Structure 1
Amino acid sequence: MTLYCDGSGRADERAAEHEVTRAAHDAAAAMRRLTEQVANVKDPQVFADALHELAGVAREMFMLDRELTALGARFERRTAKQI
């Protein structure tokens, strides 16, 4: 994951928040498109493949959520030490 810093090397929360928000919107849009495509499939093999793809996207979103949670916890600990 990319860490966003300002010119002095401090964490740039706005840039990180913008990137996380953009990624979340992109992921949600991808999930909507995949869900719509899966719902319209008539061929059982294509349906199974689409469900497999949808599960892969859900796994990636879960991993991203875990990574973001860990990053947030590290940032909070570092910020608490600076206070």
Structure 2
Amino acid sequence: MALKILSGCINCDMCEPECPNQAISMGEKIYEINPDLCTECVGFYDKPTCISVCPIDVIITDPAHIESKESLLEKFKHLVNTDRI
């Protein structure tokens, strides 16, 4: 399951530097999470760091991108191998 930042985001800049996959970037108005890069921190941490640091709790599981822990781990492995090439 990729994560999603809701429209209530205040652009506090807390989440973007915490993302180990560089999946978070500034969109037109608020930060956005690229579902192709988001692994919910599987492979790095026990919990998504963006959720942990968000001061207003506007990061949720994206219902449009449902993935199992196994598929998130596979995505992580692919991203790590891609980064090394």
Which one has a bigger Cα radius of gyration? 1
Same fold (TM over 0.5): no
TM-score (norm 1): 0.26
TM-score (norm 2): 0.26
**Structure with the larger strand share:** 2
**Structure with the larger helix share:** 1
